[in-house]
Structure 1
Amino acid sequence: MQWNLEIRINEKLYLRDPKSSELGKNILKEGILMIEANGIENFTFKKLAIQLNTTESSIYRYFENKQLFLLYILSWYWQWLEYLIIYKTNNISDTNKKIDIVLDVLLLNTQDYIDGGPEVDKRVLHNLVIKEASKSYLSHDVNTFNENKFYKPYKDISIRIAGLFQEINPEYKFSRNLASTVLLMSRNLYFFMQNLPSLTDFPETKEISKTKEFLKQLITNSLV
């Protein structure tokens, strides 16, 4: 089942709402495709303008720079994942099943998507996040960005997952540490599996199920 979802983005991330025009929507769509294919380092608004057959200045009317553009994309993605977790765990009392759902959402091992947002294949968006998300906070601007609440969607999904861990074991002292670790490792292990397989225990199979198995074991062993 698919549901339409409207997500509100921090207004400090953009100059003009890209959802308000066809050009803005195309900026999001093509920008995501270009960043996923070539990385944020090689992405420029000039290249995007050429791809869209528009002017570079027209893109700057929507976003001040490519760092804020990336943060806009990530903000939408983390809120989307959090809504998926809320929707799919609603009325589920079995904590073991809730853990499965959370991991399936983080690994995008699910077909129940909530529609909305950038008009691109959500797996392309997922691949972008795997490769680029950590760059958004491993930055000299991290404190300024944090003061502007640009990382709030990432914190929110981490806190929600930590809440699940607290629900399972209220005595566990490190629920936030575990949640942030699972969030990070769900991306890193997938990246290692595809690009640096010798860093994993499943270099040949490259199966998402193996990543899920490891993360679930990490969670359950920690919460015992």
Structure 2
Amino acid sequence: MDSILANIAITVNEKLYLKNPETSNLGKKIINSSILLIDEIGFENFTFKKLGDKIASNESSIYRYFESKHKLMLYLSSWYWSWIEYKLVFATNNVDNPLEKLKKGITIVTEKINDDSETQHINEAVLNRIIIAEFTKTLLTKEVDDENKEGFFSIYKRVINRLVVMIEEVKPDYEFSKTLASSIVEGALHQHFLQIHLKTITNCDQKISPTDFYVQLIENLLK
């Protein structure tokens, strides 16, 4: 187990930053405060100038870490999916029953996130709200193909492919395992968004979670 988790350390593509923010107090402050500020005002209204004002630092100091707010958002997204992958491996590694393993995996990628006290400079609960509201904006760009070639979405794809393996272990002849896995991950974010903002077009509420829906879906689909 330790050797498996050692290979799932929370890592981010080095091309997303100019200087690793994890290596300095200012860098960690930039990450912490950017999460809180994006959550407060939204990514469209977020600027490095506003972030600099919030952390009482020059805007230029932020540019020493990230060349653009888009790269910062990609960094936050990659960190989040790397953290989810860590949780996914940890939760499913010792589960032998394929269906139970898949259900645990689905729970990890669809559940509401609580803050992890182990990472003091990152509030995962707030970051989860940002991913729900903003993640698709990192994909729906003209640069997505080039950024994909650079490996910016590799961790996100790795999470999905881990679910693909679990689906195929439950039903090896199921021909849409990749489509199902990506639909679960992406659909859960959308259902959380609807639950918060457009309540009349989802059954998810205080009693029914996106996790409940997707677990029931795969139980019926993969019989």
TM-score w.r.t. structure 2 length?
0.90
Kept after mapping to 2: 8 A contact 1:108/1:126: no
Indicate conservation of the 8 Å contact 1:89/1:101, yes or no.
yes
Classify the secondary structure of the residue corresponding to 2:174: coil
Aligned-partner SS, 1:64: coil
How many Å apart are 1:109 and its aligned residue?
Answer: 4.6
Cα separation, partners in 2 of 1:222 and 1:190, compared to 1, 3 Å: same
TM-superposed deviation, 1:123: 0.8
C-alpha distance after superposition, 1:158-216 (max 9, x if no partner) = 000011000001101111100000001111001101100111124xx434x43222111
Contact 1:104–1:110 under 8 Å retained in 2: no
Q: Who is 2:40 aligned against?
A: 37
- How far residue 106 of structure 1 moved from its aligned partner, in angstroms, is 1.7
C-alpha distance in 1 between matches for 2:72 and 2:156: 16
* CA shift for structure 1 position 111: 6.6
1:99 alignment partner AA: L
Seen in structure 2, the aligned counterparts of structure 1 residues 171 and 112 have a Cα distance that, compared at 3 Å, is: farther
**Does the residue aligned with 2:209 lie in a helix, a strand or coil?**
helix
Shift of 1:87: 0.5
Figure out how many residues of one structure are paired with residues of the other and give that number: 218
Q: 1:89-111: CA deviations, max 9, x gaps?
A: 11111233223322321234577
One-letter code aligned to 1:126: N
Q: Which residue of 1 aligns with 2:214?
A: 215
1:157 equivalent among 156, 159, 163 = 159
Which structure 2 segments of 5+ residues have no match?
none
* Aligned-partner residue type, residue 50 of structure 1: D
C-alpha spacing 1:109/1:97, structure 2 compared with 1 (3 Å): farther
| CA deviation profile, 1:88-137 (whole Å, cap 9, x unmatched) | 11111123322332232123457795834x71321111111111111110
Structure 1 residues 176-191: aligned runs within 5 Å: 176-191=178-193
The yes-or-no answer on 1:7 pairing with 2:10 is yes
Indicate yes or no: 2:72 matched with 1:73.
no
Q: Summarize the Cα distance change of 1:190–1:111 in structure 2 as closer, same or farther, 3 Å threshold.
A: closer
| Structure 1: stretches of 5+ with no match in the other structure | none
8 Å Cα contact 2:113-2:128 kept in structure 1: no
Question: 1:121 and 1:149 mapped to 2: Cα distance?
Answer: 25
Q: TM-score, normalised by structure 1?
A: 0.90
| d(CA) in 1 for partners of 2:10, 2:163 | 20
Percentage identity across paired residues of the two chains? 36
Q: Please list, as runs of the form range in 1=range in 2, the aligned pairs for 1:80-95 lying within 5 A after superposition.
A: 80-95=83-98
